[in-house]
A and B are shown apart, each in its own frame.
Chain A
């Protein structure tokens, strides 16, 4: 079991730039969720995608967007980066889209905005 894989592991960007983070779910998992974890806080929900459709969105500005591809991998895009976007971005996959589907997390992408 390769687990959920995320790339890159670390990233440094400048304010105003945009960034794309990538996630490959566990084989057979059709749902991908994105979370932001700021230092000292628990993960905060950003998006859920299931079968390539957005199924949920957290309280994040429109600068954040995501998509899911036919192979169920996913990208998270953040435009016009702010210093406050510096965080660990976690991707999680699950077999189905909702109830009784435990989340399997990746190791995350550490984004630093300077």
Chain B
């Protein structure tokens, strides 16, 4: 079955430390992966997607099909990065149907 796993419920780091939010997926076809973020009292919003291969707010994510992973990384965490992060998988050309992981809360303290 198709599945997205985010193994960490909470990740706490100090400001300036590197961050890696883990995401593994289960899907035998050609996946499209996303990271969505929800800041406190704001709506869920797209952070980045693998097909864009871009860096947003210093975050990057590389799709590793061999390890079926799409980990989110940032070399130096900032306090404003504190939020809930969701990894999501779109199956092939399944329109807007995304499978979300359970999310990881990132807490960055000074």
Contact = CB atoms under 8 A, between A and B. Distances in A.
Nearest to B99: A45
A97 B43 contact: no
A61 interface: no
Contacts of B95: 31, 33, 48, 50, 55-56, 97-98
Contacts, number: 62
A2 to B, nearest CB: 12
B96 A103 contact: yes
A33 B46 CA distance: 15
B49 A45 contact: no
Contact of A105 (B43, B97, B101): B43
Contacts of A55: 95-96
Contacts of A40: 102
A110 to B, nearest CB: 13
Given A40-B102, A41-B102, A42-B86, A58 B97 contact: yes
A92 B88 CA distance: 14
Interface of B: 4, 32, 43-46, 49, 51, 86, 88, 93-103
Nearest to B98: A45
A42 B103 contact: yes
Contact of B102 (A3, A42, A58): A42
A94 B100 contact: no
